[in-house]
Amino acid sequence: MQGPKKFPVRTCIACRAEKPKRELCRIVKNADGIFLDATGKCAGRGAYICRSEECAKKLVQKKLLSRAFSEPVPQETYEKIEADLRTLCGDAQ
């Protein structure tokens, strides 16, 4: 028997919606810094966000990465991730 719970589910840090992991973008923090993990396979601590412009905006405005990773995140990092999210979101449409 197969059920919908078969797929791993993660919570978007912006809107708190629970979605299948593969529908979300992964942001990772490791020794290289904090960046958008397009492959979803980078080692490190991960946070998940919807592929939506609304959630990307919220992420930047509310500084949600600082909360997710429990440390201050520079504005440049937010801008880079927002730009990368936009690129990725565009591909997903």
CB of 79 to Zn ion, least distance (A): 19
CB of 48 to Zn ion, least distance (A): 9
Ramachandran category for residue 85: left, alpha or beta (phi over 0 → left; psi -120 to 50 → alpha):
alpha
What DSSP string runs through 33-67? Answer: EEEEESSS--SSEEEEEES-HHHHHHHHHTTHHHH
Positions that interact with Zn ion (CB under 5 A)? 12, 14-15, 50, 55
**Closest CB to Zn ion among residues 43, 67:** 67
CB of 14 to Zn ion, least distance (A): 4
